[in-house]
Structure 1
Amino acid sequence: MRRFTERSLVVATHNAGKLDEFRALLAPFGVTVTGNADHGLPEPEETETTFVGNARIKARAAVAATGLPALADDSGLEVFDLDGRPGVHTADWAETGAGRDFDIAMKRVHDELEASAAPAPHRARFCCTLVLAWPDGHEEIFEGHAGGEVIWPMRGARGHGYDPIFVPEGHEVTFAQMDAETKNAMSHRARAVEKLRGCFG
């Protein structure tokens, strides 16, 4: 694993919450973290069929535009009885003409499982892939997963995305019923980030 010795890093996102999360994570290492908006970067089109492929597109685009090392992530929910869908299309399933509506996306998961006639439990996992890219072309990839099952009806009002239908392994409540500290300790992003820290610590 290559050590990260540079002083600046672009996190290839326009998501302010995600940017703040990485700033806090990397603060102990003295790394200055900026985001796409700080450099006037657009969101590149995600045309790959895998999480690593789409994360790589975002990281490479930021490196090419800024000349700085960049970190990008791609994440989503894979439902095994749906052949891994929604997968890389996790956010797309929530798209409407008026923005994203994850209630619609979760209802689609339920409806497609009903149509499949697959018996419960419906095994699933959240996936997060991080790609850390340098201007010389070197890349490090870090993956994290959180296994569990999807349930219906939705339960809980915390979290975001598909959290109200996802019960992690070893628990009886959904991510949306947990406090943030409990969820974040076992989330797919937390597990990927823990591996990423090895480049800095």
Structure 2
Amino acid sequence: MSSLSKIVFVTGNKNKLAEVQQILSGTIQVESHKVDLPEYQGTTQEIAKKKCQLAAEMLNGPCITEDTCLCFKAMNGMPGPYIKWFLDANGPEGLVKMLQGFDDFSAYALCTFAYCEGPGHEAIVFEGTTDGKIVPPRGPRTFGWDCVFQPDGFDQTYAEMSKEIKNTISHRFRSIETLKAHLSQL
């Protein structure tokens, strides 16, 4: 059992916080703290490590950070870590339009959590993916690109699913499961 009873999740996104708290419920207490971190460029792992290490220094203690990507296979994984900016600029319909002219609407959702035990420590990265496809928007538009991502094996988008189902199949769930295993060893 972990000697760590609570962890700070560096996020200002209430939807992400609620998902993480639900998935980690009964394992570790999750508190949120919003920290203004730079938007780094690079691979998902490089971005996650830099952000988490900086957050641990700013908070002077252990923390986790999270980055989510939506990766189109037809575009060799783009927009990837830049999905937030593509979504802000074009909306969900624009994400679908980006794939016009391609025969491949397959995609994968990638979640990268990083954990850093404090200032001066290296961040450790935990990733999870869910394969699916990009579809015209369906369901509530309250959580990023969930309304255009339909996981393989399901006829609903993330946005149409109950939180209970989504939180057992999502990229975030898969990433958190590997993080949870690491935290239980501390």
What is the TM-score normalised by the length of structure 2?
0.84
| Residue of 98, 103, 128 corresponding to 2:111 | 128
Structure 1 residue matching 2:167: 3-state secondary structure: helix
Aligned equivalents of 1:56 and 1:197: distance in 2?
Answer: 17
1:100 matched to which residue of 2? none
Aligned equivalents of 2:138 and 2:6: distance in 1?
Answer: 41
Equivalent pair of 1:77/1:127 in contact (CA under 8 Å) = yes
Aligned equivalents of 2:149 and 2:19: distance in 1?
Answer: 22
Equivalent pair of 2:86/2:95 in contact (CA under 8 Å) = no
Structure 2 residue matching 1:113: 3-state secondary structure: coil
Aligned equivalents of 1:119 and 1:129: distance in 2?
Answer: 28
1:28 matched to which residue of 2? 26
**Larger C-alpha radius of gyration, 1 or 2?**
1
2:122 matched to which residue of 1? 138
1:99 matched to which residue of 2? none
- Say if 2:171 is the partner of 1:188: yes
Note the 1:5-154 alignment, pairs <5 A. Answer: 5-23=3-21, 25-26=23-24, 28-29=26-27, 31=29, 33-37=30-34, 41=35, 43-95=36-88, 104-114=90-100, 117-120=101-104, 122-135=105-118, 136-151=120-135, 153-154=136-137
Q: Percent identity?
A: 26
Note the C-alpha offset of 1:185.
Answer: 1.1
Aligned equivalents of 1:118 and 1:166: distance in 2?
Answer: 17
Change (3 A) 1:30 1:183: closer
Q: Which has the higher contact order (CA 8 A, sep 6+)?
A: 2
| Consecutive aligned runs of 4 or more in structure 1 exceeding 4 Å deviation | 23-27
Change (3 A) 1:8 1:125: same
Aligned-CA RMSD value: 2.4
**5+ long unaligned stretches in structure 2:** none
Aligned equivalents of 2:25 and 2:164: distance in 1?
Answer: 19
**5+ long unaligned stretches in structure 1:** 97-103
Aligned equivalents of 1:174 and 1:131: distance in 2?
Answer: 26
> How many positions carry a matched residue from both structures?
183
Structure 2 residue matching 1:95: 3-state secondary structure: helix
